[in-house]
Amino acid sequence: MNVKGTLQHILDHQYSRPAGILGWVIGEKMIRQHKPETLWTIEKLQLQENERILEIGCGAGFALKQIASLNVGHTMTGLDLSETLLQSAALRNRKAITQNQMELVHGTVEEMPFPNEQFTAVFSIHSIYFWEDLFKSFHEIHRVLTPGGTVLMTLCDGKDGEDWDSIKKMIRDELLPLMKQLKFKDLCVLEGPVSRGYHTVGVYGVKS
């Protein structure tokens, strides 16, 4: 592998599981890059008072901090593979954690360490690309959601007017059929903001 290829491999690994100083830098960079779709995702969740919210792939904790700032009685849990980013999220959300409004958990979406029907809302932003098993992941999401709970997956499906056929196919042929099989209702694909040329969509559903 040449130098360019080696560097790309390192970066690809860091984006999937940031670690160390480089991981911390990437976590802060992702906050800046993904701010428009993060704020859009929170809006589209249409959270009511006193929700129990899980973010899968919470990264450095920006979305959780925005939700905590709403001050409407939510309890929040962030799940991430990266211990480095969980440390950043803990620093960013010291107040909410101290007040027992927020918990940060190291773990995988395929085997989430939570009891059944714990959360009223589950969301994820630019994390689904890295999930190893979509089937197991959505069975877990279904398991931890309360009946009537909402799920919103935010991801990019194109850039600069060019469609990413592999992502669109994944949504159409894998994700939506799987959610339908699990009896999610009100399934839809929401049009999100264009951020840095990237086209954002959100896959939304409600647990029956």
Walk me through the domains of the chain, giving residue ranges and CATH numbers. Answer: 3-207 (3.40.50.150)
* pLDDT at res. 14: 43
Quick one: pLDDT band at residue 71, thresholds 50, 70, 90? confident
- DSSP class of residue 175 equals I
d(CA 21, CA 14): 11
Q: What 3-state DSSP class applies to 195?
A: strand
Strand 145-159 versus strand 198-207 pairing type: antiparallel
Give the residue carrying structure tokens 């101290």.
98
Cross-strand pairs, 152 = 123, 204
Query: What is the mean predicted confidence (pLDDT) over 110-136?
Result: 96
pLDDT of residue 34: 85
Q: What is the mean pLDDT of residues 17-24?
A: 52
Given this model, what pLDDT does residue 67 score? 97
Q: At residue 113, does pLDDT exceed 80?
A: yes
Average pLDDT over residues 149-168: 95
- In angstroms and rounded to an integer, the radius of gyration of the C-alpha atoms of the chain is 17
Q: What is the pTM of this model?
A: 0.86
Average pLDDT, the chain: 88
Residue 22: closest CA among 7, 36, 37, 32:
7
Q: How many percent of the chain have pLDDT more than 70?
A: 86
The model's confidence at residue 25, banded by pLDDT at 50, 70 and 90, is low
Q: Percentage of the chain with pLDDT > 90?
A: 77
Would you say residue 162 has pLDDT above 60? yes
List of residues 6+ apart from 107 with CB closer than 8 A: 79, 81, 113
Averaged pLDDT for residues 48-58? 96
